[in-house]
Amino acid sequence: MDDTFRGTLRHLMQARGYNIRKLAAAIYFSRSQVGEVLTGQARPSPKFAAAVDREFQTKGVLAALAQAERDGDIMKRRALVSQLGAVAGLGVASGETVAELIREELLRSAAEFADDDWQRRVSDYSREIISTPSGDLKHRLVIDLIELNRRIKAGGGSDLVRAASHLALLKGQCVSDELGDGGSPWYSAAIDLARRSGDKKLEIFMHARSATRMIWEDASPRDVIRLADKGLSLGGDPCIGIVECHVAKAVTFARMGDPRGIHEYETALDLAATVPYDSESTFDAQTRVLHAGTYVISRLGSLARNEATWAMVNELNVPRIWHSLSRSETAYAYVKRGDLAHGIETAISAVKAVPAGSRTKMFQTEVSELVAIIPDRHNGRDDLRQLTDLVGLT
């Protein structure tokens, strides 16, 4: 397959059984316009490339290829075509399949070493993912993973492998935020890449974050605890990863109603006081633990302690989503103590504080857990119906 847009498009059309007439009808362009692109008489416009992306579900990759061709970026163009060509050879043009191939390629390429400054991009993504809808990030992540994979294969080193580990984790998080599951293969890749980078602290962090994310994908408590304990078994001085391992265990025990959750939370809180801000993951240990504490204490602690923890979180400069999730956990504490009206009102306010497009699957999980402790005789309440409608629960 040649490395031009028109050659790639021809290959994809053949793999999917499209002729000019079928493609033209599907993307609402004339047959002559499609023909001109295929013969090289005209370059694909951004609108044309985006339309083909939508039809073939290539998640913005073709649009990136068209842009790379306009920019004269031969290396990026070849990297994009290489991945799409592999997919087309299987008769599939799914953007997620492209992403899966990249994941496998990253693991195969991680033994190569060289320096690069991708850590800045990792930090940017780590900040963005807290407040930007996953659907807006996942396409960019795919493109950057393609480029990162190319650089690793060309002789990139430990810094690139570290960056690949972070981006694999974030890709899994995007999948999880949208679907509620499906991130696990990417978390496994993130852990493997961290191990290959030789950075033990990064490997601990990837175990920890993978464990925490799996909680909200309804993984079994045993699997979450096992993954967190694996991270802790790697040892070393206190770091953000070790703190996060204890956070994962605290939240898991709290979901089970197991009082060991309080011990894990207090251990994490003590360790957090000794761990500096991690600029790469953008995690502040104490802020992270207090945010998780509102969940743990709402399930296992007193209402007074929950309100005190919430007051501390409320004074911190936390992302809006974290703020709202912590508030919804305080709502749970009110409902658990029998104050349904105040609890549901608080939960509604917390959910409304976040734009609908940014309400991840975690909000649905939080509301589901709150609804589960409300006696059935109250199911017809108007305020409860309003709350469940806000997060898309039937």
DSSP assignment string, 245-261:
HHHHHHHHHHHHT-THH
Q: Note the pTM of the prediction, 2 decimals.
A: 0.73
For 384-394, b/e burial (b = at least 16 CB within 10 A) is beebbebbeee
d(CA 9, CA 81): 10
Asked whether residue 75 carries a pLDDT value surpassing 80, the answer given is no
Cβ atoms of residues 77 and 65 within 8 Å? yes
Asked whether residue 106 carries a pLDDT value surpassing 80, the answer given is no
Condensed to tens digits (0 to 9), the pLDDT of residues 121-158 reads 888 888 887 766 676 677 678 777 877 887 887 777 88
* Domain limits, the chain: 1-71
Which of 27-36, 48-57, 150-159 reaches the highest mean pLDDT? 27-36
Condensed to tens digits (0 to 9), the pLDDT of residues 236-256 reads 899 999 999 999 999 999 999
- Radius of gyration, alpha carbons of the chain: 24
Condensed to tens digits (0 to 9), the pLDDT of residues 314-333 reads 888 888 888 899 999 999 99
φ, ψ dihedrals at 17, nearest 5°: 75, 35
72: left (phi over 0), alpha (psi -120 to 50) or beta: left
Condensed to tens digits (0 to 9), the pLDDT of residues 167-213 reads 999 988 888 777 666 667 889 999 999 999 999 999 999 999 999 99
Q: Which residues pair with 283 in a beta bridge?
A: 278
Average pLDDT, the chain: 84
d(CA 105, CA 118): 18
Q: How confident is the model at residue 112 (pLDDT cuts 50, 70, 90)?
A: very low
Q: Kindly state the tokens that stand for 62.
A: 């073709």
User: What pLDDT does 181 receive?
Assistant: 65
Q: Kindly state the tokens that stand for 187.
A: 């978390």
Choosing among 1.20.120.50, 1.10.260.40, 1.20.1440.130, 1.20.1250.20, the CATH entry for 1-71 is: 1.10.260.40
Condensed to tens digits (0 to 9), the pLDDT of residues 358-376 reads 787 788 889 999 999 999 9
Q: Which residues pair with 72 in a beta bridge?
A: none
